[in-house]
Amino acid sequence: MTLKNFNLRLRLDQTLYLRGFVDTLEESLPLVMSGRVLLPDEKHYPKVGQILSFDANILLLKNKSYVSRGGEKLQYAMNYFGFSVKDFICLDVGASTGGFTDYLLKNGAAKIYSVDVGKGQLHNSLIMNKKVISMEKTNARKSFLLPEKVDLIVIDVSFISLKLILLSVISHLKNNSKILVLFKPQFELNKNEVPFGGVVNNNQSISKGVGNFINWCFNNNIKIKGLCYSGIKGRSGNKEIFLLLDNS
């Protein structure tokens, strides 16, 4: 009879050790504290002492797999939604250092247009890759040109609402294709709903913001295919939500 048969409930660190994620109990703490241990069935970061079922769904992110933590965020979302980007032509809006671009590249994308309003941020390893077309100093809020339509658009922007970006970039998408956006409540809610310091902890406010965004998408003929909380919070501690959209 296995431990699973006993319907055991243990601390997270004990579960990681007994299930072979780590070689010693002590190795659990830095893994959890670094945000590399995720519980896909839950909406929050786990804690070392959290009690859970022995057979709980646990995801362990690889260490430093991407040029920035954005790659790990996208990895979590892609695991959740479960579709491949192999041979895709992609548009990464708000590329910054290139975490999303790096994930797409390492998972088989044929080409990535990496767009950012800033300059000199994209990681050198991506600039040197022939599959990556760097489009720095490009304001995605305004119309810009691409030589071809893309199979997938990923968007991670700050200090601006997704609504101001989506209608501009969706014209670059092939028919019946997907858009994956990272919803950041601090940039989507009304100013009076965002506390001093910019961290939104009110779940009701977050839900309201997501609901308003979904309604806006429907009104603009953009379909919602699914959503999930990001397995990794924003740098300031904000909860972030991935929404999968399409233009079918």
For the chain, the structural domain boundaries read 3-60, 69-246
Between 36-45, 101-110, 139-148, 162-171, the lowest mean confidence (pLDDT) is in: 36-45
In what helix (H) or strand (E) does residue 179 lie, and over which residues does it extend? strand 173-183
Give how far Cα 8 sits from Cα of 3, 12, 39, 135, 167, Å: 7, 12, 17, 52, 50
Say whether 69-246 and 3-60 share the same fold.
no
Domain 69-246 has CATH 3.40.50.150: yes
pLDDT at position 62, please? 66
Instruction: Give the chain's radius of gyration (CA, Å).
Output: 19
Helix 99-106 to helix 69-81 angle (10° resolution) is 50
Look at the pTM and tell me if it is higher than 0.85: no
Domain 3-60 has CATH 3.40.50.300: no
Residue 222, helix vs strand vs coil: coil
Q: Which residues of 8-41 are buried (b: 16+ CB within 10 A; e: fewer)?
A: eebbbbbbbbeeebbeeeeebeebbeebbbbbee
Round to whole Å and give the CA distance between 70 and 62: 13
Cβ(200)–Cβ(176) under 8 Å? no
Per residue in 157-178, pLDDT tens?
Answer: 999 999 999 999 999 999 999 9
In what helix (H) or strand (E) does residue 16 lie, and over which residues does it extend? helix 12-18
Paired with 81 in beta bridges are none
Per residue in 40-75, pLDDT tens?
Answer: 777 567 888 899 988 888 888 766 578 888 898 898
